[in-house]
Chains A and B, each alone.
Chain A
Amino acid sequence: MELPISTPRPDPLDAVRDAFAAALVAQERARRDDLAQVRRIVSEAVTRLGQSFGSIQDESQTQTRLLHELLRHLRELSEGSAEQQGLSQSAERINIILGRFVDHLVQTSAHSMDLHQRLDDIARQMKDVVSLTAGIRKIAMQTKLLSLNASIEAARAGDAGAGFGVVAGEVRTLANDAGQLSDRIGDSVRRVDGLVEGASSLIQMLAATDMTFAFDAKNDVDLLLRQAAETNRIVEQGLTNVDAITAQIAHDVGESVVALQFEEIVRQRMRELVLRQRADARQLLLTVAAALGAAASGSHDDVSEALLACDAMRAAETPAAKPAPELALATGDIEMF
Chain B
Amino acid sequence: MSIRTSASPDGIRIEISGRFDFSQNDAFRKSYQDAPAGVKFMLDLRRVEYVDSSALGMLLLLRRHAGDRMESVVIQNVPPDVSRVLKIARFDQLFTFAGA
Q: A interface vs B, CB < 8 Å? A: 99, 102-103, 105-114, 116-117, 120, 204, 207-211, 214-215, 218
In the bound assembly, the distance between CA atoms of A107 and B94 in angstroms comes to 13
> B21 at interface (Cβ–Cβ under 8 A)?
yes
Nearest opposing residue in chain A for B91, CB measure: A106
A71 to chain B, nearest CB (A): 36
> B39 at interface (Cβ–Cβ under 8 A)?
no
- Jot down 12 A-B pairs with beta carbons below 8 A, ordered by A: A103-B90, A106-B57, A106-B60, A107-B60, A109-B54, A110-B58, A110-B60, A113-B25, A207-B22, A207-B54, A208-B52, A211-B51
> B1 at interface (Cβ–Cβ under 8 A)?
no
In the bound assembly, the distance between CA atoms of A105 and B58 in angstroms comes to 13
Among A113, A210, A218, the residue within 8 A (CB) of B61 is: A113
Given known pairs A103-B89, A110-B60, A116-B25, the reply for A215 and B53 (CB within 8 Å) is no
Nearest opposing residue in chain A for B94, CB measure: A106
B95 to chain A, nearest CB (A): 12
B53 touches A208 (CB 8 A): yes
Given known pairs A214-B88, A215-B88, A218-B88, the reply for A120 and B26 (CB within 8 Å) is yes
Specify which chain A residues have a CB less than 8 angstroms from the CB of B60 in the assembled complex: 106-107, 109-110
A207 touches B85 (CB 8 A): no
Nearest opposing residue in chain B for A114, CB measure: B61
Nearest opposing residue in chain B for A207, CB measure: B54
Specify which chain B residues have a CB less than 8 angstroms from the CB of A107 in the assembled complex: 57, 60
Residue-wise interface mask of B (45-77) relative to A, using a CB-CB cutoff of 8 A (1 in contact, 0 not): 000000111101110110010000000000000
Main SS class of interface, A: helix
Specify which chain A residues have a CB less than 8 angstroms from the CB of B85 in the assembled complex: 211, 214-215
A293 to chain B, nearest CB (A): 115
Q: Which 8 A-B pairs have the closest CB atoms?
A: A109-B57, A110-B57, A110-B60, A209-B53, A207-B54, A113-B57, A109-B53, A208-B54
Interface centre among B53, B54, B84 (most CB of A within 10 A): B53
Given known pairs A105-B53, A109-B53, the reply for A208 and B90 (CB within 8 Å) is no
Q: B interface vs A, CB < 8 Å? A: 21-22, 25-26, 29, 51-54, 56-58, 60-61, 64, 84-85, 88-90
A102 touches B88 (CB 8 A): yes
Given known pairs A103-B90, A117-B25, the reply for A111 and B57 (CB within 8 Å) is yes
In the bound assembly, the distance between CA atoms of A215 and B25 in angstroms comes to 24
In the bound assembly, the distance between CA atoms of A114 and B61 in angstroms comes to 7
Interface centre among A108, A208, A211 (most CB of B within 10 A): A211
Specify which chain B residues have a CB less than 8 angstroms from the CB of A210 in the assembled complex: 52-53
Specify which chain B residues have a CB less than 8 angstroms from the CB of A207 in the assembled complex: 22, 53-54, 57
In the bound assembly, the distance between CA atoms of A214 and B86 in angstroms comes to 11
Nearest opposing residue in chain B for A116, CB measure: B25
A184 to chain B, nearest CB (A): 30
A99 touches B54 (CB 8 A): no
Specify which chain B residues have a CB less than 8 angstroms from the CB of A114 in the assembled complex: 57, 61
In the bound assembly, the distance between CA atoms of A213 and B66 in angstroms comes to 30
Specify which chain B residues have a CB less than 8 angstroms from the CB of A109 in the assembled complex: 53-54, 56-57, 60
A211 touches B88 (CB 8 A): yes
A273 to chain B, nearest CB (A): 87
B29 touches A117 (CB 8 A): yes
A106 touches B53 (CB 8 A): yes
A211 touches B57 (CB 8 A): no
A208 touches B29 (CB 8 A): no
A110 touches B25 (CB 8 A): no
In the bound assembly, the distance between CA atoms of A258 and B9 in angstroms comes to 90
In the bound assembly, the distance between CA atoms of A99 and B93 in angstroms comes to 13
Known: A111-B57, A215-B88. 18 other contacts (CB 8 A): A102-B88, A109-B54, A110-B60, A113-B57, A116-B25, A117-B25, A204-B22, A204-B54, A207-B53, A207-B57, A208-B22, A209-B52, A209-B54, A211-B56, A214-B85, A214-B88, A214-B89, A218-B88
B25 to chain A, nearest CB (A): 6
Among B29, B58, B90, the residue within 8 A (CB) of A99 is: B90
B86 to chain A, nearest CB (A): 9
